[in-house]
Structure 1
Amino acid sequence: MDFDANIEHLRIAYWNILLTAGPVLAVALAIGLLVGILQAATSINEATLSFVPKLAIVLITMALASGFMLSTMTDYFGYVFESIANIQ
């Protein structure tokens, strides 16, 4: 396997990481930012106020995006196993 093929495998792996984890991380970032702005505006510094909504919404996002994430990872691992089978 040459260097260009290895770089292509890494590129595909990083792209799949972005597709799989990206939606959940983006929602967590947006909710954390929104709660942080709300806490700064109201001067409420309660730790559970930032943790509980973020946890609930991230879990809901994971539940809604699980089908997409599973199909993405299934396709990727099918590609990886096919690549391993074709190594000479």
Structure 2
Amino acid sequence: MSPEAFVEIMRDAMLLIIVIVSALIVPGLLIGLVVAVFQAATSINEQTMSFLPRLLVTLMALSFLGNWLVTKMMDFTNNIVLSIPSVIG
């Protein structure tokens, strides 16, 4: 296996990880920001008020994007398996 092939595989894997994590985390971060602004404006310091909406949005994102995320992971895995002959020889 050449170093270039290894670097390309690692680059693709890291990009896939960034895309998957971003798809799940960004909606929760946005809702957390909205709730934090609301809490700062109203001086309400309830922990469940910031945690529960983020949890629900993250679960909703996972349920809506789950099929797409699994498809992306399966495509990556298929590409890795199909590229084994060219990487080895």
* TM-score under structure 2 length normalisation: 0.90
1:28-67 equivalences in 2 (<5 Å): 28-67=28-67
Q: Which residue of 2 aligns with 1:72?
A: 72
CA distances 1:2-38 after superposition (whole Å, capped 9, x unpaired): 1111110111001111222211111111111111111
Where does structure 2 lack aligned partners over 5 or more consecutive residues? Answer: none
Q: Which runs of 4+ in 1 moved over 3 A?
A: none
Q: Identity of aligned pairs, percent?
A: 34
Which amino acid is the alignment partner of residue 22 of structure 1? S
Q: Which residue of 1 aligns with 2:83?
A: 83
**RMSD, aligned α-carbons:** 1.2
CA distances 1:19-65 after superposition (whole Å, capped 9, x unpaired): 22211111111111111111111100000000111111110111000
User: Could you say what secondary structure the match of 1:18 adopts?
Assistant: helix
Which amino acid is the alignment partner of residue 34 of structure 2? L
Q: How many residues align?
A: 88
* TM-score under structure 1 length normalisation: 0.91
Q: Which residue of 1 aligns with 2:17?
A: 17
User: Could you say what secondary structure the match of 2:11 adopts?
Assistant: helix
CA distance in 1: counterparts of 2:49 and 2:38, whole angstroms: 10
